[in-house]
Structure 1
Amino acid sequence: MRKIYLIGIGAGDPDHLTLQAAKAIGRTDVFFLLDKGEAKQSMIDLRERIVRGYSKPSRRMVSGRDPDRDRTPADYEGTIADWRHRRALVVEEMLVEHLREDETGSFLVWGDPSLYDSSLAILDDVLARGAIEFEYEVIPGISSVSALAAKHRVPLNRVGQPFQVTTGRRLAEGWPEGVDDVVVMLDAQQAFTAHPEAEIFWGAYVSTEDEILRSGRVSDVADDIVKTRADARAEHGWIMDTYLLRRPPSS
């Protein structure tokens, strides 16, 4: 039976790799990469660096083109479903053509495979169609959320209080009920600017050489974050940022 690992490799620092992940990489025959284009070559470079450091000499690497998608769709859920389906077709083709029945393949997943990542859904989609059979195992990694909190030296929750992980699209619809601490991912519209009274702990390219960190009251640092984010995106061709938004408990 074919075996596939979904390996979380952390938020960008090669030292985030866990011992469990390193052992799985060492057992892998074929590494599968989804190429996101030159603008995100640094993400591919990190994966290749990890493979060189921990894999066996006989391993192979196979790349597929990650399908493009509309970043500002009118039908968000429908667009994501279509994109995941097209990604699954690319993954299925790579597995069918390059993973033999007695081999182990791996996908090196940025951050953690269980947090805002489509890899699990894609493998389930491929299995459901039945063109290829395999078993798979998920190996957790250090998420951008954990890395962000560590870099700012703050806890994600306050004593006895919950926190929520959400998206910028959801935050733009209103502050979540029942929580005062919100971790926000995938915020292309910078929804934090609507909450000037909150405290923000923001980070882009966290744990990479290009890391940028900002913190303070939103009313004081929002303009700086907006400009810094725009400048970084223009320079690198892409942006990956996350933030913790914390409002006073009495709000």
Structure 2
Amino acid sequence: MPRQVRVIGIGTGSPAHVTGQAIAALRECDVFLVADKGEVKDELVAVRRSICEEFLDEGAYRIVPVTDPERGPDADRDRTAYRSGVDAWHAARAARYADIIANLPEGETVGFLVWGDPAIYDSTIRIVDAVAESMPLEVQVVAGLSAIQVLAAEHGIVLNGIGQPVHITTGRRLLDEWSADLGTVVVMLDGSLKCRELVGSAPDLVIHWGAYLGLPQQVLRSGRLADVIDDLVSLRADLREEHGWVMDTYALTVPSAPLLA
């Protein structure tokens, strides 16, 4: 029989983000495999533990940390090298998960606790698909509250203009892709705030930025890009120094033209 696997979106850190469907899926799992990224990011593992403790009975599950494979210096790679590096990292992750799953007692259901939503800039589904190439799996994916949704809610904004699109991209691609015609641009995975390079051409862009969304140390900032970007760069560096890691997301919007009388 195929191994049962649950890929569960758990929101961005707060137990209040965990949906009823996610809680039901958590309770179906016997063991959770959690990527261990070292002492610097222990807090991310701790949050996952606290969510299990919030909703599950003690002794009803196990958490198995899995040492994450080394990942190369993405910022120094061109697009081709970046993709090949990520593919290698995913393959190494899948091999480690497959080895553990293959040795679990028969009938145990495996859970993966995904930060935010599994469909948005997360690799767990792809990695589980790779594991399924070496053993039969039956996979259920449960949606979660994404950083994008939390960012918009915390700032009290609507991401799309009336009848307008929303574009989601990464810091690596922002400068090549940005255009006022894209509507709101939501940027993820941007370790160096590439938006500062748009100040010369689009200084009036409005940025809504958030770090550690959903966690007690959440930080929000917003304003005209040209006015706030220097402070944001400094703040982000300070937060990384303080906590050892940063997860942040931001939205760039073009100011609306005033309505004619």
Same fold (TM over 0.5): yes
Indicate the residue corresponding to 1:34 in structure 2. Answer: 35
Cα 1:177–1:124 shift into 2, 3 Å:
farther
Structure 2 counterpart of 1:85, one-letter code: A
- The question of 1:121 aligning with 2:126 is answered yes
152-161 vs 67-76, greater mean Cα deviation: 67-76
Please report how far the alpha carbon of residue 194 of structure 1 lies from its aligned counterpart in structure 2 after TM superposition. Answer: 2.2
Match of 2:165 among 162, 165, 179: 162
Across the aligned residues of Structure 1 and Structure 2, the Cα RMSD in angstroms comes to 1.4
Indicate the residue corresponding to 1:14 in structure 2. Answer: 15
Secondary structure at the counterpart of residue 209 of structure 1: coil
TM-score under structure 1 length normalisation: 0.94
Whole-angstrom CA distance in 1 between matches of 2:88 and 2:4: 26
What does residue range 1-251 of structure 1 map to in structure 2 within 5 Å? Answer: 1-56=2-57, 57-70=59-72, 71-72=74-75, 73-74=77-78, 75-98=81-104, 100-128=105-133, 130=134, 132-176=135-179, 178-195=181-198, 196-248=203-255
Structure 1: 5+ residue stretches without partners = none
Structure 1 counterpart of 2:151, one-letter code: L
Secondary structure at the counterpart of residue 103 of structure 2: helix
CA contact (8 A) 1:180 1:249 kept: no
CA contact (8 A) 2:15 2:54 kept: no
Structure 1 counterpart of 2:41, one-letter code: K
Secondary structure at the counterpart of residue 71 of structure 2: coil
CA contact (8 A) 1:12 1:110 kept: yes
Please report how far the alpha carbon of residue 80 of structure 1 lies from its aligned counterpart in structure 2 after TM superposition. Answer: 0.9
Whole-angstrom CA distance in 2 between matches of 1:186 and 1:60: 30
Structure 2 counterpart of 1:44, one-letter code: V
CA contact (8 A) 1:112 1:143 kept: yes
Whole-angstrom CA distance in 1 between matches of 2:56 and 2:117: 20
Please report how far the alpha carbon of residue 76 of structure 1 lies from its aligned counterpart in structure 2 after TM superposition. Answer: 1.1
Secondary structure at the counterpart of residue 176 of structure 2: coil
Whole-angstrom CA distance in 2 between matches of 1:176 and 1:104: 46
Deviations 1:10-43 (A, max 9, x none): 0111110000111111121111111111111111
CA contact (8 A) 1:180 1:248 kept: no
Tell me the matched-pair count. Answer: 247
Whole-angstrom CA distance in 1 between matches of 2:116 and 2:213: 11
CA contact (8 A) 1:27 1:55 kept: no
Whole-angstrom CA distance in 2 between matches of 1:246 and 1:191: 15
% identical equivalent positions: 42
Structure 2 counterpart of 1:244, one-letter code: A
Structure 2 counterpart of 1:83, one-letter code: W
CA contact (8 A) 2:180 2:254 kept: no
Please report how far the alpha carbon of residue 58 of structure 1 lies from its aligned counterpart in structure 2 after TM superposition. Answer: 2.9
Structure 1 counterpart of 2:189, one-letter code: L
TM-score under structure 2 length normalisation: 0.91
